[in-house]
Amino acid sequence: MAIRMPRIIQARKILKRSLSNGSTTPASMDIPKGYFAIYVGEQEKKRFVVSVSLLSEPTFQELLHQAEEEFGYNHPMGRLAIPCSEDVFTDLASRLGAF
C-alpha cells in the first residue's frame, strides 16, 4: 500500500494559502469546524462547504492539482476556486461523502 502523504500535505498547504489571503467575513464565519468553503464553476462560481476529509482523497487532490496548474490559486478575494462544472464537482464530492 502506497502512502500519499506528500499529496495530502500539498493539498493542506494550498488550502492554508487560500484561507490566509481572505479576511474574516460573515460568510467565512458560518463554516463549521472540520469543513471549508470552495467555489466551483466555470463562469459564475457557486459556494460549497465540504468536509476537510476531502483533502485526503486522491481524486480531489488531482482536481486541485489540475486547477493549480491551469489557473493558479491567486484569487483576488482569497477564495479557493475550482473552475470545473458544478455537476462534475457535486458528483465527485457526493461519491466521496464530502457533504
pLDDT in tens, 39-89: 898 888 899 999 999 889 998 898 888 888 877 766 666 778 888 889 988
Whether residue 64 lies inside any domain: the answer is yes
Structural domain count of the chain: 1
Residue 14 lies in a domain: no
87 falls within a domain:
yes
Q: Are 21 and 75 in contact (CB under 8 A)?
A: yes
Specify if 13 maps to a domain.
no
Record the pTM.
0.64
Taking CB atoms within 8 Å and a gap of at least 24, the contacts of 41-45 are 41/83, 41/84, 41/85, 41/86, 42/83, 42/84, 42/85, 45/79, 45/81
For residue 10, being part of any structural domain is answered with no
Residue 92 domain flag: yes
In a domain, 90, yes or no: yes
Residue 19 lies in a domain: no
What is the residue range of 66's domain? Answer: 35-96
Burial 57-88 (b: 16+ CB within 10 A, else e): beebbebbeebeeeeebeeeebbbbbeeeeee
